[in-house]
Chains A and B, each alone.
Chain A
Amino acid sequence: MLRGVLQRRGVVEGISVCVVLAVWEAVADFVVAEPFKLPSPSSVLLAFYEISDTLLEDILVSFMHFGIGICMGAAVGITIGATMGWFRVAERSTDPIIEVTRAIPPLAWIPFAIAWLGCTHQAAGFIVFIGAVFPVLLNTYAGFRSVDRIYIDAARVLGCKTNASLIKSVAIPYSLPFIATGIRVGMGVGWMCVVAAEMLGASNSGLGFKLWFFYGLHMMDRVVAYMLVIGLLALLLDRIFRCVVDARLLRWRKGLSVAV
């Protein structure tokens, strides 16, 4: 009977979470006993209530920074990645620059983001852009490079004579799964960059800003609350993206792949 209960969906997951919370509460209250070093889950729950009046605004601001960066990252990454993947000379001319630039951590760009764009939402979005553009670029490039020659030849036979029509009719549809993967990875990196950019002065609102704000006021229970919100939103963004992409953009792959 117990096995039957455990096999039900959500039971094991729920028990696991409850055990973690109980252990955390016990360690925080009786072992560490210093709220600054380890706030307890009960204090974090209270902190959620205390931050609830501004939480939605902070989430929307962080989403705005994220949106600026991801949109720009996708536009620039797909454009340059497609160009590099389709034209050999473009690949040869841009590859050294891309390889050097992508090795620079996004956070190292924060001083220049602030110097060029000021302490604005665009500066925070720029850091997200730096984090997101390279996964999109490299995956788009990989998709375009891997287009099978047979499809190109068949398309030419069927009337696609120009580069533009070949790209539109063959390369882009073929590369969509690669591009989707690149955007998904870029979103993960970009979301981490949002928090860091907001923490380091590029914004005066948002989840990262508030996390650092309350760290400065030594309210560690609120810091943990914001950390949990950041983690849960990252999960939500990923799930939504996968639903939209798999259900709509890549629905033509159903039946062609084991995974879809």
Chain B
Amino acid sequence: MQGSGRVLLFLAVFSASLVIAAFAVAGGTPELASKYKEPKDLKGLKIATFPPGSIQYTILSKWLKENGLDPEKDVEIRTMGPREAISAIESGAVDAVFLPEPAPTIIELDEKGVRVVQSGEMYPNHACCCLLVSGKLIREHPEIVEQIVRTHINATKYLKEHPEEAARIFSNKTGFDYEKTLTSFERWDGDWITNPHEMMNSTLEYARVNYELGLAKRLLTDEDLFDTRFYDKIMGISSSPIPVPAEREEIKEIRIGYQPSTHQIAEMIAMEKGWWQRDLKRFGVENVTDKEFPSGPPEMNAMLAGEIDVAYVGTAPPITAIANSGLDAKIVAAVQINGSALVLRAASKTQTPGFTAISTISAVSAVVVCFIARRRFGQGKR
């Protein structure tokens, strides 16, 4: 064989051996869900969840610690958004995910994972998502904030009465599959609520956990986090008037942040049906826009940067934003409780002993051929 032909043979066999060896090494992913009996079985696993400061990171850390596991040493927590986390567990890059719906249901219906613990089992009736409004809007335009809370209450009521339409709106907005979204309503342990008083205790517990983990620089109180005057006035709990300043800037646009989770469908319903625009128009607001964020911490960064005025967000991210960077905002209503789940990986279809054996033999054979070809291509012309 001429030198150039041998070179081609060498390159072709070298490339093929790399590819085959890579598959042999990758091999497929072992099944974990059926082996889970108790939290200690999670030791050594890679778990994908939202970034530190989020509800999911806080609850997972708290639950692991309560069950004798150190979240920093006994498991490897990988932080990412929901879409990346779904891809990560489905490709076998992580062993488990702890995510809000509809992600756990999607993974189950794709047969890539099995849920083993609901977040409501980790922390019963824990606060999850809330309606957070900037302090400037509260001080200067309390009437707008009151209307925002009213619209949110109406959207939440509509959502609970029309689940199919809610699932369709969510699917159109986020790109998640409609059927899987509808199924997630049956599988989750969450509930959509509006009363902020129902989430105060657990939110203050998050503040304590994040402070002890060193993620929040100071321990926040209910006054740092909540402003329930608007909800109380709407519900007739309190009749105290909310002062309106004599001088204030006009506001023409309201910008709302949200995340691609069924927890926050109320925002999407109000936007899709034009309720935000309709209800706020009489206050001089000409435009209402919304923007998606993968999780709470980047949404809080946007609020700190002045990019959004209102946020549908977990109750934990505002804790770190207020404690660490002085975010001027308050929780004015509840959105939802519970609703996340820990999903462990199911087996990969490529995980068969036969495939692994063939891949390994192929890789070794290719490398051997490589060496033989290399020794034989001697005198070739340049």
Contacts and interface: CB of A to CB of B under 8 A. Distances in A.
Interface stretch (B59-67, B91-99, B254-262, B336-344): B91-99
Interface stretch (B80-88, B280-288, B363-371): B80-88
A212 B297 CA distance: 11
Interface stretch (A110-118, A229-237, A250-258): A110-118
A89 interface: yes
B310 interface: no
B145 interface: no
A116 B88 CA distance: 10
Contact of B11 (A83, A114, A152): A83
A186 to B, nearest CB: 20
A2 interface: no
Interface string B50-71: 0111000000000000000000
A220 B3 contact: no
Contact of B53 (A36, A117, A118, A217): A217
B21 interface: no
Contacts of A89: 4, 7-8
B53 A216 contact: yes
B74 to A, nearest CB: 13
A218 B88 contact: no
A90 B7 contact: yes
B208 interface: no
A88 B382 contact: yes
B243 interface: no
A216 B325 contact: no
Interface string A205-218: 00000001101111
Nearest to B216: A217
A96 to B, nearest CB: 14
Interface in A114-146: 114-119, 123
A16 interface: no
Nearest to A115: B91
A218 B8 contact: no
A204 B78 contact: yes
B93 A35 contact: no
Contact of A87 (B305, B321, B326, B382): B382
Interface in A160-175: 161-164, 166
A114 B378 contact: no
Given A213-B52, A217-B53, A204 B325 contact: no
Nearest to A80: B11
Interface string B341-382: 000000000000000000000000000000000000011101
A83 B324 CA distance: 55
Contact of B379 (A88, A119, A162): A162
Contact of A36 (B4, B84, B304): B304
B301 A90 contact: no
A217 B52 contact: yes
B5 to A, nearest CB: 8
Contacts of A164: 378
Interface string B288-299: 000000000110
B181 interface: no
A201 B52 CA distance: 13
Contacts of A242: none
A144 to B, nearest CB: 10
Contacts of B84: 201
Given A115-B93, A119-B46, A219 B7 contact: no
A37 B217 CA distance: 18
B79 interface: yes
B42 interface: no
A42 interface: no
A37 B326 CA distance: 12
B379 A163 contact: yes
Contact of B300 (A94, A123, A162, A218): A218
B320 interface: yes
A218 B48 CA distance: 21
A118 B8 contact: no
A83 B215 CA distance: 52
Contacts of A7: none
Contacts of B298: 216
B92 A218 contact: no
Nearest to A218: B325
B76 interface: yes
Contacts of A215: 297, 301
Contacts of B326: 35-36
A121 B300 CA distance: 29
Contacts of B79: 201, 204, 213, 216
A93 interface: yes
Contacts of A204: 76-79
B26 interface: yes
Nearest to B296: A216
Contact of B297 (A115, A119, A216): A216
Nearest to B76: A204
Given A162-B378, A218-B301, A87 B3 contact: yes
B327 A114 contact: no
Contacts of A218: 53, 297, 300-301, 304, 320-321, 324-325, 327
Contacts of B4: 87-90
A24 interface: no
Given A114-B91, A119-B94, A163-B378, A36 B325 contact: yes
11 contacts: A35-B325, A37-B305, A87-B380, A89-B4, A89-B8, A90-B7, A114-B88, A161-B379, A162-B378, A201-B78, A201-B88
Interface of A: 35-37, 83, 86-90, 93-94, 111, 114-119, 123, 152, 161-164, 166, 200-201, 204, 212-213, 215-220
Closest 4 CB pairs of A and B: A216-B297, A218-B325, A216-B51, A115-B91
